[in-house]
């Protein structure tokens, strides 16, 4: 799978720092775990949603329907099981691309002038 542009990947081990990074650098997508220091991925997504509609994909080893449900309620766009398998990473890349492409289309539609105005 190839992307139409080079990816710039930024990482953070602090969810609070990651939220600030998103606010300042406006990335195309955020990949989050559920288990993190300071707060879990659900709370991270809730806080991120206060200021951003950027796509969030939770990639975690937690297989719990309640956690997944809470993650979606908080605003994640996708919930992916973390595994050490090259095929699964290819699938994750596909999900990232789909989320980014959809987000860009929504932004583009939102910038179009409304006819008749």
How many domains are there within the chain?
A: 1
Q: Is residue 116 part of a domain?
A: no
Q: Is residue 8 part of a domain?
A: no
Q: Is residue 87 part of a domain?
A: yes
Q: What pLDDT does 116 receive?
A: 47
- CB-facing half-sphere around the CA of 97: CA atoms within 13 A: 12
Q: Is residue 6 part of a domain?
A: no
Q: Is residue 44 part of a domain?
A: yes
Q: Is residue 117 part of a domain?
A: no
Q: How far apart are CA 96 and CA 40, in angstroms?
A: 21
- pTM, to two decimals: 0.80
The CATH code of the domain that includes 86 is 3.40.50.2300
Give the DSSP letter of residue 50: T
Q: Is residue 46 part of a domain?
A: yes
Q: Is residue 3 part of a domain?
A: no
Q: What is the pLDDT along the chain (117 residues), one digit of tens a residue?
A: 344 456 677 888 899 999 999 989 888 899 999 999 999 999 999 999 999 889 999 988 888 899 999 999 999 999 988 877 777 778 888 888 888 888 888 888 876 555 544
Q: What pLDDT does 6 receive?
A: 60
Residue-number span of the structural domain to which 27 is assigned: 15-111
Q: What pLDDT does 109 receive?
A: 82
CA angle (49 as vertex; 59, 65 as ends), nearest 5 = 40
């Amino acid at each position: 799978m190839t992307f139409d542009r080079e990816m710039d990947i930024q990482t953070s081990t602090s969810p609070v720092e990651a939220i600030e990074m998103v606010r300042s650098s406006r990335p195309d997508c955020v990949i989050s775990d559920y288990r993190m220091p300071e707060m879990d991925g659900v709370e991270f997504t809730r806080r991120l949603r206060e200021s951003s509609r950027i796509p969030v994909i939770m990639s975690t080893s937690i297989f719990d329907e309640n956690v997944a449900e809470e993650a979606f309620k908080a605003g994640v766009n996708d919930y992916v099981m973390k595994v050490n398998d090259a095929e699964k990473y290819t699938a994750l890349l596909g999900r990232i691309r789909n989320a980014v492409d959809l987000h860009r289309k929504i932004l583009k539609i939102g910038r179009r002038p409304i006819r008749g105005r």
